[in-house]
A and B are shown apart, each in its own frame.
Chain A
Amino acid sequence: MTAPAPLLSAFRQAFSEAWASGAGLLLPLGFFAGTATLVPFTLGGEADLLSRVGPGILWLALALSSMVTLERVFQADLQDGALDLWLQDTGSISLVAAIKTLTHWLVSGFPLVLMTPLIGFMLGVPAEKMIPAMLGYAMGGLVFFLWGGVAAALSASVARGGLLIALIALPLYVPALIFGVQMVDAGVDSPSFLFLCACTLFALGVAPAAMGAALRLAAE
Chain B
Amino acid sequence: MELPPDLPASPGGDDSWDGEERAEARKETLHLEIDGWEGPLDLLLDLARRQKVDLRRISILELVDAYLTYVEEAEALRLELAADYLVMAAWLAYLKSALLLPKEEQPDPSPEELAMRLQLRLQRLGAMREAAARLMARDRLGRDVFLRGAPEGLRVERKARWQCSWYDLVRSYGDVKVRSQPVVHMVRERMVMTLDSAIARVSSMLGITLEWMELRDFLPPAHDAWTNEQLRRSALASSFVAALELARTGKVELVQEYTFGPLRLKALRS
A binds B: no
Residues of A bordering B, CB below 8 Å: none
